[in-house]
Chains A and B, each alone.
Chain A
Amino acid sequence: MLKQIEGSKAVAEAIALCRPEVICAYPISPQTHIVEALGEMVKAGDLTPCEFINVESEFAAMSVAIGSSAAGARSYTATASQGLLFMVEAVYNAAGLGLPIVMTVANRAIGAPINIWNDHSDSLSQRDSGWMQLFAETNQEAVDLHIQAFKLAEELSMPIMVCMDGFILTHAFERVDIPTQEQVDGYLPPFDPRQMLDPAEPVSIGAMVGPEAFMEVKYLAHAKQMQALELIPQLAAEFKQQFGRDSGGLVRTYRADDAETMIVAMGSVLGTVKDTVDELREQGHKIGVLGIISYRPFPLKEVRAALVNCKRFVVLEKSLAVGMGGIVATDVRMAVSGTGLKGYTAIAGLGGRNITKASLHKLFLEAEQEQLPPVTFVDLDWDVVNKQLEREKQNRHSGPIAENILYDKGMSSSAKFG
């Protein structure tokens, strides 16, 4: 049914249609509206049987999800930013134990400086945790990916994060087709766990594993993600059959056929990228888009195939590997290794900095003319940066950076050193 609905509310409705049996969550922006809506549904008796567990922290949220999933219950939670970091030890455990928990990450920056706005630093920090990570471009896709995620996770017995841009998607009202219960039931079978704690047939889950077997267990986690590379396109195809929509898959291209310049990105920024590319196409520029939906597992083969015929590509990413450059770009460059393609990294939108069509126009044209440095920081205020660097050169006691920058931008009188 078509609805004009907030992204968070739409995702909550999709989760409810997936019949979770345990939902545990600790509120943190911008994820809160999702679990609030689910809490209301459980309380009203609209989502049953389901236990909604208020926990005391994100660490507890993931720990409860581990327990309930191990007991054979379909388990869901959601988090963001510092909340995700706070649960990290349990996040790795969920993957290491092979428990098919589904978690929404409403992507948000990581402090310090404290910041509630969107970028991809939080889930990307869990790149190597063993969780799969799918990125939604729209709220429709966020809904659809959650439905696919339960099936994927349970098929492989591995946990998965569905990542949606905090605020930009979670708080946006737009048109979303919410499927019916019959449609979802026809796609997603009841949870049939590969492993389960059952008093009738006692087993342990979580053995200590020494050097003699640790690598094998870890390799099997990798093997499962390699299986996911096969399974994700299959599940997207089945989804299309059941729901009549293209949603999910590993990657998606746009106007890429004869493109000489390709823009690679993940998440909601793809919309702005596509609008910009349409305008450049009208002016005759041969430019196209590669959207990555599956960040983990990373589809090396599909990314290579999508880029191999272009002349150059830009990875536009909302994340920064401090001391290195791009995070997604590193993977994309590995995918095209040996092709001699020119690759550029563009870091944009950190901490909620708006990514505008005007800035993308400029960036893409500079890329086309191969005038970009290897790593570009889109819309960085160089004056303020250089002023602070100079301050540090001049004064040993140059003071706190964030406070100085706010002072220089005229937004605070709280600190000024040198």
Chain B
Amino acid sequence: MFQIRVHGRGGQGVVTATEMLSVAAFEEGRHAQAFPSFGSERTGAPVVAFCRLDDKEIRLREPIMEPDALIIQDPTLLHQIDVFAGLKPDGYVLLNSAHSFEQIGLGELVKQRGLSRMCTLPASELGLKHVGRPIPNVPLIAGFAALSGMFKLESVIKAINEKFSGKVAAGNIAAATEAYELVKKQMEERAHA
């Protein structure tokens, strides 16, 4: 089983992000379970949502306490809650920021974990550029597909098309594609560095 925890704030599409991750996994024939932590449906309030992936039926209903991957939609959460709680030693981290981990004060984390499974992505900027709103969720799930290699971009695009239509879908697909390429390039550059 592979477990993804997404942190963000109300209004950033945190729950939608996990739902779309689950749809992308479903498109690839896997079992997936997405669910929010409930009760904090207020704009700006910290929100957590979860996505489990497996090749068999997922029965477990507890929240994800030891994630294999973290997607952090809002870097200001780093000062507010322990988003890294329980993250597995070899876990993935994708953070929405136009800056590097070192620039936002996470140099120590990089020293501990190395950069092979960690990446930042200017997801809000990509949302603004392609969809007209700084909603980072779709760029982040596409970026996560590139970071982890767990999804194909086309599965993410299928999930986008299931959720949105028309101009919004097209904008999100453009944002997802650019995010995917950005992360892929970063990871390749690091691999060759």
Which residues of A come within 8 Å of B, CB atoms?
2, 4, 6, 30, 116-117, 138, 167-168, 171-175, 268-272, 274-275, 352, 354-357
Contacts and interface: CB of A to CB of B under 8 A. Distances in A.
Contacts of B26: 2, 4, 175
A356 B65 CA distance: 10
A2 B27 CA distance: 10
Contacts of A6: 19
B190 to A, nearest CB: 33
Contacts of A138: 59
B61 interface: yes
Nearest to A274: B59
Contact of B59 (A2, A4, A175, A275): A275
Given A172-B33, A173-B23, A116 B38 contact: yes
B38 A173 contact: no
A2 B35 CA distance: 19
B34 A117 contact: no
A30 to B, nearest CB: 8
A48 B50 CA distance: 37
Interface string B1-43: 0000000000000000011001101110001111110110000
A171 B38 contact: yes
Interface string B42-62: 000000000000000111111
Given A4-B23, A116-B39, A356-B65, A174 B32 contact: yes
Contact of B61 (A2, A173, A271): A271
Given A116-B39, A117-B38, A117-B39, A174 B61 contact: no
A4 B39 CA distance: 23
A173 B61 CA distance: 12
Contact of A271 (B31, B60, B63): B60
Q: Which of B32, B34, B35, B65 lies at the interface centre, i.e. has the most chain A CB atoms within 10 A of its CB? A: B35
Nearest to A270: B59
Q: Which of A4, A175, A355 lies at the interface centre, i.e. has the most chain B CB atoms within 10 A of its CB? A: A4
A175 B19 CA distance: 12
Interface residues of B, number: 23
19 contacts: A2-B26, A4-B26, A4-B32, A6-B19, A138-B59, A167-B36, A168-B61, A171-B36, A173-B22, A173-B32, A174-B31, A174-B33, A174-B58, A175-B26, A269-B61, A271-B61, A272-B61, A352-B38, A354-B62
Nearest to A360: B62
B157 to A, nearest CB: 15
Contact of B62 (A116, A167, A274, A356): A356
A118 B32 CA distance: 22
B34 A272 contact: no
B3 to A, nearest CB: 13
B1 to A, nearest CB: 10
Contact of A357 (B19, B27, B35, B60): B60
Contacts of B32: 4, 173-175
Contacts of A356: 62, 65
B137 to A, nearest CB: 14
Contacts of B22: 4, 173-174
Interface in B66-82: none
Contacts of B36: 167, 171
Nearest to A267: B61
Nearest to A276: B60
A80 B32 CA distance: 27
A401 B36 CA distance: 29
Given A173-B18, A175-B26, A272-B62, A168 B35 contact: yes
A30 B63 CA distance: 18
Contact of B63 (A117, A268, A354): A354
9 A-B pairs with least C-beta separation = A271-B59, A4-B26, A173-B34, A172-B35, A167-B38, A356-B62, A173-B22, A4-B23, A173-B19
A4 B57 CA distance: 13
Q: Which of B22, B25, B31, B36 lies at the interface centre, i.e. has the most chain A CB atoms within 10 A of its CB? A: B22
A272 B60 contact: yes
Contacts of B34: 172-174
B61 to A, nearest CB: 5
Given A4-B32, A173-B23, A272 B59 contact: yes
Contacts of B25: 4
A175 B32 CA distance: 7
Contacts of A167: 35-36, 38
Nearest to B41: A29
Nearest to A356: B62
A52 B189 CA distance: 58
B35 A268 contact: no
Contacts of A175: 26, 31-32, 57
Given A167-B38, A357-B60, 19 more contacts: A2-B26, A4-B25, A116-B38, A167-B35, A168-B61, A171-B35, A171-B36, A172-B35, A173-B19, A173-B35, A174-B31, A174-B32, A174-B33, A174-B34, A271-B60, A272-B59, A272-B60, A274-B59, A357-B62
